[in-house]
């Protein structure tokens, strides 16, 4: 999978992609990520990318020309399955969306900034609008890192223990059960006996029960 990220502050994006999951995915040739600085497509000597909002109001709006120039340059090279715009008024990201996106070949992620982008960008270039939650970030860059992480770790072969993505919270509408590691007792706080029993069917049943209990307590909406 190839991910092209268009951003106003691409510097915000570099570090997350140089470590752990991304690093492994890139090294294994399973994913590649390219950053595009929108300002390089800006207008005139000042490389203008934003302007005042027609009709007035505070905040600058990202202009359509630089975005069109960048997206068109990418589309001239290859086909894209999706052009995703990150915005707090998009569809809230969830695991099924990440699963579906992990099967795509090439995607563009456009990060918003300031008051957002000219609506015509959304109407004519964007195929999916995604929010990473009901709060407002200063820009879409960090949201892009979140989205890309959620997608890339699901690409087959990226996680070393392939089953681990399958037991994540949300993968089956249940939150993940509690986990423990050594020591079996610390300051008198004990690991549940069942996990030390070696009885796999009983351990599986306990985990299922705990996952259900946790979901019922914290996210009853997932069970309906
Ligand atoms: N840009 C600003 N806030 C955002 C959010 N919550 N999700 C996606 N993009 C954003």
At residue 147, the 3 state secondary structure works out as helix
Residue pair 128/84 in contact (Cβ under 8 Å)? The answer is yes
Query: What is the rounded distance in angstroms from the CA atom of residue 84 to the CA atom of residue 119?
Result: 14
Q: Say if CB 113 and CB 63 are below 8 A apart.
A: no
Mutational test site, ligand 1, from 62, 90, 97, max ligand atoms within 8 Å of CB = 90
Domains of the chain: 1-151 (3.40.1280.10), 168-220 (1.10.1270.20)
pLDDT digits (tens, 9 = 90+) for 25-61: 999 999 999 999 999 999 999 999 999 999 999 999 9
DSSP letters for 82-100? EEEEEEEEEEEP-HHHHHH
Q: Which sign does the torsion angle of CA 133, 137, 140, 143 carry?
A: negative
Q: Mention every residue, 6+ apart, whose C-beta is less than 8 A from residue 215.
A: 173, 174, 175, 222, 223
Whether ipTM exceeds 0.95: yes
pTM value is: 0.93
158 annotated as a binding-site residue: no
Q: Would the pLDDT of 209 be above 80?
A: yes
Q: Could you give the count of Cα atoms lying within 13 Å of 142 in the half-sphere of its Cβ?
A: 7
pLDDT in tens, 86-120: 999 999 999 999 999 999 999 999 999 878 999 99
Indicate the pLDDT class of residue 163, thresholds 50, 70 and 90. Answer: low
Ligand 1, from 8, 88, 116, 128: best to mutate by most atoms within 8 Å of Cβ?
88
The residue whose CA is least distant from atom 5 of ligand 1 is 88
Ligand 1 pocket, residues with Cβ under 6 angstroms: 86-88, 112, 131-133, 135-137, 140, 143
Q: Contact 42/48 with Cβ under 8 angstroms?
A: yes
Q: What are phi and psi of 76, to 5 degrees?
A: -70, -20
């Amino acid at each position: 999978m190839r991910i092209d990220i268009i951003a106003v502050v691409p510097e915000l994006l570099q570090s997350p992609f140089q470590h752990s999951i991304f690093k492994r995915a890139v090294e294994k040739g399973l994913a590649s990520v390219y950053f595009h600085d929108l300002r390089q497509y800006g207008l005139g000597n000042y490389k203008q990318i934003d302007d005042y909002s027609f009709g007035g109001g505070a905040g600058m709006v990202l202009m359509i020309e630089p975005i069109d120039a960048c997206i068109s340059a990418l589309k001239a090279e290859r086909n894209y399955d999706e052009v995703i715009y990150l915005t707090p008024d998009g569809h809230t990201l969830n695991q099924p969306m990440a699963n579906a996106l992990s099967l795509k070949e090439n995607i563009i992620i456009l990060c918003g900034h300031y008051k957002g982008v000219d609506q015509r960008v959304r109407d004519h270039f964007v195929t999916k609008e995604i929010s990473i939650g009901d709060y407002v970030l200063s820009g879409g860059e960090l949201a892009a890192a979140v989205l890309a992480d959620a997608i890339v770790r699901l690409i087959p072969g990226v996680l070393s223990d392939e089953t681990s993505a399958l037991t994540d919270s949300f993968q089956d509408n249940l939150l993940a059960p509690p986990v423990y590691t050594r020591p079996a007792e610390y300051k008198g706080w004990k690991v549940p006996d069942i996990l030390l029993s070696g009885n796999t069917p009983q351990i599986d049943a306990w985990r299922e029960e705990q996952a259900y209990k946790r979901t019922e307590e914290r996210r009853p909406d997932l069970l309906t």
